Amino acid sequence: MNFFKLMKVFIVTSIPMLIMTACDQQNSSTRKMIEKDGKTIMILQPPKQQENIAVSHIENIDDTLATQFFSETKIILNTPKNLGANSSESSLYIYDMNTKTKTLLKSEFKLQNYSLLSPDKKHLFLFMDDGERMVRYIMDIQTKKTISLGNSDMVNNVQWLDHSHVIFSTLNGDILKADLDGNVMKITSTKDAILSIGISNKKIYFVDINYHLFSVDGNSKPFLIKNHISSVIPSPDGSQLALVQRTNDTTEELILTDLKGRNPIKLASGIGILGTNWAPNGRKIAFNLFSEDNSKRGLYVVDTLTGEMNPILLNVQYPKYNIRIPVSWSESNKKIMITTFDQNKMITNIISLK
């Protein structure tokens, strides 16, 4: 890979503190695009009452790295020993927020990037350093047994295609699919590394390092959808794409489009938009936001129907190597989880919304 492109991958995937210049609140929108019979249909929905986005409670767990909600009352936590290291020895737990107890999943290993729970919550994708090489695994949550998916220099993006298949990309631009038995097959290979992957109705969307958004379905060749995109996050119902679009070298926009990248609705803009993730009901999107003067350093939530945006956590610092991990939502759409950083201490923040 070209050295400068390799450096671009490192900068984008590790993402040091990017800075936000502005965030535009848009006019209320009740538009929704759907695909039917190969055509895009815009539905005009009656105005909905504004949902009040406000915080009712925040639970903080020190010295932990947030990964995902396991249930409404349980979360998956990574507890590193060396909190300042990018690749530190860790233990992985299921933490019960009610009883304040932890159930061990994996002890004293080096976890790279992050783990990802399958939709049925029976398996966990792991990318670990065994001391000599980087290895991809699938773990059975109940038995704790792991199956190797082979070695890799890096795993940039991971998404579960369904309950039994996981999709991930490598540094050399391959997009691979693996099943629970450890069988791995190549879906497609690009000339450059992959910045972002999204799954919608078993169709794969991906963004390459040149900021081109593609879709690929089955054994078909990748289809170019849109240029100047740095991240793709399909909606939970599979009808829309949330895209981070680069408008120039220093500015990005968070937009909503149909599945072909058309009819954009702008939600926010700035130098960087990170960790973007939909609420399960598709009504809200959470993302990290920063301003040049640090006045907007924190977590924000935007209502996808009204365009109303609200700050959730302000004036916080994030671990540089964790900033690209998506914000996690609970199934009820009422809780958000994210890791912050304070004086060399990582903190898992579990935020309950009113």
Share above pLDDT 70 across residues of the chain, in percent, rounded to a whole number: 77
Question: What are the b/e assignments for 206-233, b being 16+ CB within 10 Å?
Answer: bbbbebbbbbbeeeeebeebbebbbbbb
What CA–CA distances, in Å, run from 176 to 137, 158, 160? 13, 10, 11
| pLDDT value for 281 | 96
Segments forming the whole domain that contains residue 182: 3-353
What token pair was written down for 205? 């969307």
Number of domains in the chain: 1
- Taking the C-alpha atoms of residue 277 and residue 236, their distance in angstroms, rounded to an integer, is 10
262: domain CATH number is 2.130.10.10
Q: pLDDT (tens digit, 9 = 90+) per residue, 143-160? A: 999 999 987 666 668 999
Contacts with 291 (C-beta within 8 Å, 6 or more apart), sequence order: 19, 20, 21, 22, 23, 270, 297
Strand 252-257 with 241-246, pairing: antiparallel
What pLDDT score does 30 carry?
47
> What integer pLDDT is reported at residue 151 of this predicted model?
76
* Measured distance between the N- and C-terminal CA atoms of the chain, rounded to whole angstroms: 48
| pLDDT of 20 | 32
pLDDT at residue 254, rounded to an integer = 93
Contact status, residue 206 vs residue 198, Cβ threshold 8 Å? yes
Q: Residue 230: its pLDDT value, please?
A: 93
Q: pTM for the full model?
A: 0.82
Listed as ranges, residues in the chain with pLDDT below 70 are 1-52, 82-88, 111-114, 130-132, 152-156, 219, 291-296, 321
Q: Mind listing the pLDDT tens digit for each residue in 267-310?
A: 987 787 899 999 999 999 999 987 666 666 789 999 999 999 89
Residue with tokens 């010295």: 63
Scan for tokens 């690009």, then name that residue: 190
